[in-house]
Structure 1
Amino acid sequence: MAITSVSRGPRRAFNVPNLLTYGRVVAVPVVVGCLFWPEAHAMRWTALGVFVAAGVTDFLDGYLARRLGQQSALGRMLDPIADKLLVAAVLMMLVADHTIAGYSLVAAVVILCREILVSGLREFFAEVKASIPVSRIAKWKTTLQLVALGFLVAGPAGDVVLPHTSEIGLALFWAAALLTIYTGWDYLKASLQHLSED
């Protein structure tokens, strides 16, 4: 039997799921700081460790919020913000150190543009008291995106353990970009349908 604990008042801001989300926000400057030294393998591995831990909290916070009965408006608002901060910051650092370069920059732009589009749509629909449900494919997109970025964060350091780590990461990154286009269109189509009904 599940133990439920509904947070009330100020305690809601410091429940377990929200603490995990705060941790993901704190992870952003740590990962960025480590990637300032992309040639240092130890820093790459540290960045990867923090990034993986942050990715795990992305799955845990929602699960625990439902399991413990600790869902909150703050958590619903902060969770996607933390995700986008982490992905955008890591993308910028990987572009800066040329791990993502050439034609792969197109995939990075696609992913960033989709995140901005969906954020704008969610903000708009929040104002009109409507919501856009997250599809199963969108969840797979997020997972694939995080795995791809993990490989790219490891980069040259990962090549020592697993040859062609960066190439694997870029292939997964392109796959994530294609799913990003599909799910972005899905969100846009649902939004246009909602607007036409109004």
Structure 2
Amino acid sequence: MNWNLPNILTVLRLIAAPGVAIMFLYFHRPWADWAALTLFVGAAVTDWFDGYLARLWKQESNFGRMLDPIADKAMVVIALVIITGYSGMNPWLILPTTVILFREVFVSGLREFLGARAGLLRVTKLAKLKTTAQMVAIAVLFLGTGLEYLEGLSLQGMTAESYVAAVEAGLAQPLRPCGSLGCATTATLIGLLLIWIAAILTAITGIDYFIKALPYLRDDK
């Protein structure tokens, strides 16, 4: 294995995947949310740079081809587990998350079964697009959980009516609106929309891979 810059970036992205979860062990919220968001976005950016630099400098390697999708999947899976937990098990998030996790496990199983013929399931442009969609959606959802926690601190257990009265009396800081909705609600709704789009793309790529592998799944007669 060559320790060139593209491979180093890929390894760092793989290390960053569990690092996102570790942020919630060493930081209090909302600092944990912001730290996880920063780490996730930074790692996601390397997903584009490592491939680009490997092609530009002609440093593509089998190690990079093997580790790159693993790092991507680890980032997505760990982040989705964290967000789902902190979102209060929102069913609108659980369903697309389930689709994404099922597809990743299913395709990994297909690749393992095909063995030397796993090259049939090469990463397509649509698969790269779904990975980008997943990462953008997760980043926005992390933003939503952080803002939601801040709004919770501002409310401090008050009802909406008592909070408004407290703001008018100068006893509480007003929440910053984003249009007609609060910023947390806006970010969460946008994140949910994006994760559903990502889930649809994820399902389509999974079906595509299954169709490609289907001739090799039939028993010889």
Shorter chain as denominator, the TM-score bin is 0.7 to 0.9
CA RMSD of aligned residues (A): 2.4
CA distance in 2, matches of 1:103, 1:176: 13
After TM superposition, give the deviation of residue 56 of structure 1 in Å: 0.7
Q: CA deviation at 1:195?
A: 4.9
Corresponding residue pairs, total: 187
Alignment of 1:177 with 2:199, yes or no, is: yes
Distance 1:99 1:62, change over 3 A: farther
- Aligned pair in 2 of structure 1 residues 76, 99: CA closer, same or farther (>3 Å)? farther
Following the alignment from structure 2 to structure 1, what is the Cα–Cα distance between the partners of residues 52 and 216? Answer: 29
**CA offset at residue 37 of structure 1?**
7.9
Paired amino acid for 2:210: L
Q: CA deviation at 1:48?
A: 0.8
Aligned to 2:49: 60
* TM-score calculated relative to the size of structure 2: 0.76
Which residues in structure 2 correspond to 1:59-138 (within 5 Å)? 59-98=48-87, 101-128=90-117, 130-138=119-127
- Check if 1:28 corresponds to 2:17: yes
Check conservation: 1:18, 1:75, Cα contact below 8 A. yes
Distance 1:191 1:169 in 2: 32
Task: Report the alpha carbon displacement of residue 110 of structure 1 after superposing the two structures with TM.
Answer: 0.6
Identity, % of aligned positions: 41
Question: What is the alpha-carbon distance in structure 2 between the residues aligned to residue 28 and residue 161 of structure 1?
Answer: 32
Q: 1:170 and 1:38 mapped to 2: Cα distance?
A: 25
- Rg comparison, structure with higher value: 2
User: Which consecutive residues of structure 1, in runs of 5 or more, have no partner in the other structure?
Assistant: 1-9
1:88 Cα deviation after fit: 0.8
Unaligned runs of 5+ in 2: 149-175
In the TM superposition, residue 122 of structure 1 has moved relative to its aligned partner by: 2.1
Counterparts of 2:31 and 2:80, CA distance in 1: 20
Runs of 4+ with deviation above 6 angstroms:
none
1:188 corresponds in structure 2 to 210
Which one is further off, 160-169 or 100-109? 160-169
Distance in 1, matches of 2:196 and 2:118, equals: 35
> How far off its partner does 1:150 sit?
0.3
Kindly provide the amino acid, as one letter, of the partner of residue 173 in structure 1: I
Against the structure 1 CA distance between its residues 143 and 77, is the aligned structure 2 distance closer, same or farther, given a 3 Å change threshold? same
